Chains A and B, each alone.
Chain A
Amino acid sequence: MAGPGDRLRTGSGLLFIPMKFHQSKGPGEAVFSLVLVLFSAAAFWQSYGISGFGGLTSAGVFPMLASAAMLISASVVLSRAVRSRLSEGDMAPAENPGDAPGGVRPGKVFTRDLVIVAALVAGYVAAMPYIGFVPASALFLFAAFSYLWRKGWLVSLAVTVLSVTVIYVVFRLGFQVVLPGGTWLRGVF
């Protein structure tokens, strides 16, 4: 059990990430930091392309400053990740379920659930311009409920119909929000 002291410097965003995790996140952290370093370098190159080192108030100065800050900080993160991997070997610390209400287990970045749900979301977003929001959402919700909940297709279908109806009534009729239409079923949804 981590003491309160361990928890003192935790999330302002939304997620509570216990301190334990940053000791080692498996091989992924070094790779991810490397991606960030490369991304920052590319961003710096692009920012340089805006107006070069032409002047102190040109359009490109601030983007260059921001991407330089990204490059430096990502490099620090990378060097620490590499160093901690070298010193700790390949062992991730033992997991302590009581400590991690909302955290992610080390070494489990690409879980099967994540890959499948991300694929479903990508399909959902890709299909929306063609079949429209309502059918796309219904298909997505049905597929996601069936996969994640596993209570049988009839239950998933019922919850899907209920959810889509509520969303339509609340947002389209209540909030008067325009929902994305589809090119295939124009005029229907």
Chain B
Amino acid sequence: MEMLSNLSLSWLDPWLMFLTAAGTLAGIYVGAIPGLSVTMATSILISFTFKWPVNDALALIAGVFVGGVYGGARTAILLNIPGAPSAVATAIEGYPMALRGEAGQAIGLTTVMSVLGGLIGILALAVSAPAIANFALMFQSRDYLLLGLIGILLVGALSGESFAKGVFAGALGVLIGMVGLDPMTAEQRLTFGSVQLMGGIPYIAAMIGFFGVAEALVQLHNLSLPPIRQKIGSVIPGLADIRRYLGLALRSSGIGTIIGALPGTGGDIAALLAYDHAKRSTKNPDVPFGKGAKEGLVAPETANNAAVGGAFIPMLTLGIPGDAVTAVIIGALFIHGLKPGPLLLIETPHLFWFIVGNLTLANLFLLIFGLSGIRVFTKIVECPKAILIPLIIVLSAVGTYAIQNNPVHITWMLGFGIAGYFMKVFGFQVGPVILGVILGPMLDSNYRRTMIGARHDIGEFLWNFVSNPITLVLTVSFLLLLVSQTPLWQRWVRDR
């Protein structure tokens, strides 16, 4: 009974409902405007909402997350500009449809399928998370160490240009997370004697710098993208279409949920894999792929929304973020004094069921907003970059300062922003950095606990990684992940 009341909390409380609706609507726009990203919006939002009650903050953030993942599809279809990386595949099929005057159909179909995918992802979250959390109680520190490393490496391996760049970004994040007083021995680490640094580098400053300012600076290269206008037409998709693509949508949701649930991989990878699946599994599309095949539109859009629910699974059950946005949300939970991990579900089940109910509500609003207000929408997306970029920078400054009212943090944020700009320009993803910052202290303490458990004996330490079935599975996955990135392995795969 208590579960039901928490599940329906945001459905019954008008204020929470309003926050979810506002978040979803804002998320759709943020996701749609190229240069504004969901990760950017959530990291800035967290700094403003940290004084709010945790439910209010989560309602707003969940809305932005759900809306933002979907919003990227809009500009992908209308302007051939993916508003977010997860909409890259959508642009390949959606834009040709828009050119044929079928933009309305494309938007309608993506909306319905996104909501379907979103709901399936949430269902998977509701069903599997409690079981995983119970299972995770058996995990030991070495398992967390491996899970964390796998998460960072997966992001590095799948998302960037090269594995080496991904590893560098992840390790840099871990190093940033090490700055400050060592929690075990209180020794100073990389503080250079500065009192400011003893408390560590504030991760909100790192997030906003890497995701806000860096992105704004990169967008300076795209100041003059000409707006293109499309005829939209009716957006309510036909039942025949929905029925026809239901099978594909369900399979894509499965892909999305699983990819989302893998630590470190999120909607963008899920979308591309689902697109690939659609291409392989559709033998005779009405329209060839690349020319506006609806299969290629349905698959990535269902998958990236299903990945939202999936990404919450490792975050809530293991304390390991499923993607960049959940890495930011985990930061929000820390700020609210919560410790994501298996005990979160056992000690505060009400929070878990609240999140599940709230994500479902956000999907309902997605359906409503998605099928209405498209004409107003196209106007807003045309907001010039020349106005957006300075505003993002000002908002980043406010957000960074809001957490601890420390002006030094703004300087930090700016430094991270400039570093992030260069990293992005040279093909280093910044997602692994943030994952590293969040996971670094956890990796450090779990490594040391494992080593102390092995009585400082390297032989026993290594033996621990193969002597237990759970750990062995994780060790093998970790090693496979490493081996699959070596040139030797890739040459072998290519030759076969």
Contacts and interface: CB of A to CB of B under 8 A. Distances in A.
Contacts of A113: 220-221, 223
Interface of A: 3-4, 7-17, 19, 21-22, 25, 28-29, 32-33, 36, 40, 43, 46-47, 50-51, 55-63, 66-67, 69-70, 72-74, 76-77, 80, 98, 101-105, 108-109, 111, 113-114, 117-118, 121-122, 124-125, 128-129, 133, 137, 140-141, 144-145, 148-150, 159, 163, 167, 171, 175-180
B386 A137 contact: no
A128 B407 contact: yes
A109 B220 CA distance: 11
Nearest to A138: B394
A180 B407 contact: yes
Contacts of A105: 221
Interface stretch (B238-246, B344-352, B368-376, B439-447): B439-447
Secondary structure at the B interface, as helix, strand, loop or mixed, is helix
Given A70-B175, A148-B390, A104 B425 contact: yes
A161 B443 CA distance: 47
B448 interface: yes
Contacts of B378: none
Contacts of A10: 85, 88, 159, 268, 272
Contacts of A98: 80
Interface in B423-437: 424-427, 429-431, 436
Contacts of B324: 12-14
Contacts of B354: none
Contacts of B168: 36, 40, 69-70, 73-74, 77
Chain A contact surface mostly:
helix
Nearest to B265: A12
Contacts of A150: 386
A62 B178 contact: yes
A133 B82 CA distance: 34
A153 to B, nearest CB: 14
B171 interface: yes
B222 A102 contact: yes
A102 B426 contact: no
Nearest to B49: A175
A58 to B, nearest CB: 8
B158 A57 contact: no
Nearest to A121: B393
Contacts of B424: 13, 15, 17, 104
Contact of A13 (B49, B431, B444): B431
Task: Find the residue from A62, A67, A140, A178 having the highest chain B CB count within 10 A.
Answer: A62
B178 A63 contact: yes
Contacts of A104: 218, 221, 424-425
A141 B89 contact: no
Nearest to B418: A118
B88 A16 contact: yes
